[in-house]
A and B are shown apart, each in its own frame.
Chain A
Amino acid sequence: MKRTTIDLWVGIFVAIGIACVTFLSLKVANLTADSSGSTYVLSANFDNIGGLKVKAPVKSSGVVVGRVTGISLDTQRYVAHVTMTLDSRYTFSRDTSADILTSGLLGEQYVGLTEGGDPDTLKNGDSITITSSALVLEQLISKFMLSFGEKGDSHSSQNASAAK
């Protein structure tokens, strides 16, 4: 094998390698979402974050606008303190509400932001004040059971008054 043919093939080989790694990074993994320029940080407190994890998406109207970057327990007020990094292209008003929603019926949880009417926008380091917690399955069931029980009481009292 002449030297030059070997060099050519090795060059092709390495090029294939780089192409594969690039393909894997771009098409397969989430390269674009993370590194698109400047970001700013917001935080929010929740009573219960449910199954929210770090790196969960932050969406508004279903569009990913950022990622959850930190979750901790505020030991003074005993609420969950969540920090998020948002793409600078999207700004939200001061009365934006943050909810913890579930994608699909039993899918993974994310932070949903709903825009409010305040003309002032949230700046880097600001905190979202209007929040609602995640739906915890047990609480949901106990609420359902309670309402079922109440309905039963009102039903029986209706029957009783009807019977009279």
Chain B
Amino acid sequence: MSELILAPLRKLGHMTINAIWRLGYASRFLIAILMYSGQSLMRFSLVIREVYFAGVLSLIIIIVSGLFVGMVLGLQGYNTLARFGSSDALGALVALSLLRELGPVLAALLFASRSGSAMTAEIGLMKTTEQLDAMSVMAVNPVARVVAPRFWAGVISMPILAALFNVMGIFGGYLIGVVMIGLDSGTYWSQMNNSVDLHYDVINGLIKSLVFGVAVTLIAVFEGYDATPTAAGVSSATTRTVVTSALVILALDFILTAFMF
């Protein structure tokens, strides 16, 4: 009988220890990336290439999602605010929700799903086809050549994508609130102006997206580099990237929000 209780507890213990061990491994990996980043700075074209694949190719999904989220915020926000006679505050509602929370978090989640998983798959596949080994045997450090440029590309792209998401969201809210429902355009923007503070909201949001960028990209490149070099291994690493990124984003969001707001 006690086995029934002990076995899942033991499994939980194993998983926790495993998670902590991986966290330590990932931190050492981060330090290795930072140490070998010198080459990325000198060979900036490598980073630029990765910014294209990670950032530019995510533009469509970010723009469309941002627009839709803004529109939904506009609709739902109006419904609730109208009940309290405060529909004038719609601009402020949309802007604050996006800048403080939704922009950084959703953009990071989308980035992890699209670019993070792509990075994991790419690096994992290079590991499986022995390309990383071939690089090491040719006396080129694969962390410096393959991993670090992708890491910096993610860190650079994330705040840009989050800012774009916010802008599209505010525009979506404008479309619904002013164009569709018919609120006063001046009120929309002026209420927003009055409530949004540069340092408190915009910059905090940017800091959040930067932190998320580091976390998500690190997870993506780490899972790829650490994947079991088989087809099944790469596929499970890709799944792990998306799941772990999502959990870490939400946990970090809570921690950062508690600190900042």
**Quick check: is A31 within 8 A (CB to CB) of the other chain?**
yes
A13 on interface, CB distance cutoff 8 Å? yes
Within 8 A of B (CB), among A1-41: 1, 3, 6-7, 9-10, 12-14, 16-17, 20-21, 23-25, 27-31, 34
User: Given A21-B163, A24-B202, is A30 in contact with B99 using a C-beta cutoff of 8 Å?
Assistant: no
A6, A14, A23, A28: most-surrounded residue (chain B CB, <10 A): A28
Chain B residues with Cβ below 8 Å from A10 are 48, 51-52, 55-56
Contact assessment for A13 and B163 in the assembled complex, using a CB-CB cutoff below 8 Å? no
User: Which residue, of B45, B48, B156, B201, has the highest number of chain A Cβ atoms within 10 A?
Assistant: B48
When C-beta atoms are compared, the residue in chain A nearest to B167 turns out to be A20
Closest chain A residue to B53 by CB distance?
A6
Which residue of A6, A17, A31 is within 8 Å of B198 (Cβ)?
A31
| Chain A residues, Cβ within 8 Å of B196 | 28-30
Set of chain A residues within 8 Å of B192, measured between Cβ atoms: 28
How far apart sit A30 and B17, CA to CA, in the bound complex (Å)?
48
Task: Give Cα distance in the complex from A75 to B59, angstroms.
Answer: 57
Are the CB atoms of A24 and B197 closer together than 8 Å? no
Q: A13-B56, A17-B164 are in contact. Are A6 and B194 (CB under 8 A)?
A: no
Contact partner, A34, options B51, B163, B198, Cβ 8 Å:
B198
The count of chain B contact residues (Cβ–Cβ below 8 Å) is 30
Closest to B198 in A: A29
Q: Are B201 and A29 in contact (CB-based, < 8 A)? A: yes
Chain B minimum-CB-distance residue to A1: B52
Taking CB atoms and an 8 Å cut-off, the chain B residues in 161-209 that contact chain A are 161, 163-164, 166-167, 170, 189, 192-194, 196-198, 201-202, 206
B159 within 8 A of A: yes
Are B198 and A13 touching (Cβ within 8 A)? no
Residues of A within 8 A of B167 (CB): 20, 23-24
The 0/1 profile, CB within 8 Å of A marked 1, for residues 206-224 of chain B is 1000000000000000000
Contact B52 A30 (CB under 8 A): no
A17–B59 alpha-carbon span in the complex (Å): 11
The answer on a CB contact under 8 Å between A28 and B193 is yes
Separation of A23 and B163 alpha carbons in the complex (Å): 9
CB distance from B186 to the nearest CB of A (A): 13
**Contact between A29 and B193 (Cβ–Cβ < 8 Å)?**
yes
Q: Which residue of A lies closest to B160 (CB)?
A: A17
Task: Provide the bound-state CA to CA distance between A31 and B202, in Å.
Answer: 11
Given A6-B49, A10-B48, A20 and B56 contact (CB-CB distance below 8 Å): no
By beta carbon, the residue of chain B nearest A18 is B160
Docked CA distance A9–B49 (Å): 10
What's the nearest-Cβ distance from chain B to residue A133, in Å? 24
Which B residues are in CB contact (< 8 Å) with A27?
Answer: 189, 193
Contact code string A122-141 (vs B, CB < 8 Å = 1, else 0): 00000000000000000000
User: In the complex, how many angstroms separate the beta carbon of A23 from the nearest chain B beta carbon?
Assistant: 6
Complex Cα distance, B193 from A10, in Å, reads 31
Q: Which residues of B sit under 8 angstroms from A7, Cβ to Cβ? A: 48
| Bound Cα distance A16, B201 (Å) | 20
Given contacts A13-B157, A28-B192, A55-B197, 16 further A-B contacts (CB under 8 A): A6-B48, A6-B52, A9-B56, A10-B51, A12-B56, A13-B51, A13-B52, A14-B160, A20-B163, A21-B159, A24-B99, A28-B99, A28-B193, A30-B194, A30-B196, A34-B198
Q: List 19 A-B contacts (CB under 8 A).
A: A9-B52, A10-B56, A12-B56, A13-B51, A13-B56, A13-B157, A14-B156, A14-B160, A16-B164, A17-B159, A20-B163, A20-B166, A21-B159, A21-B206, A27-B189, A27-B193, A28-B99, A28-B170, A28-B196
> Measuring CB to CB, which residues of chain B are less than 8 angstroms from any residue of chain A?
45, 48-49, 51-52, 55-56, 59, 95, 99, 156-157, 159-161, 163-164, 166-167, 170, 189, 192-194, 196-198, 201-202, 206
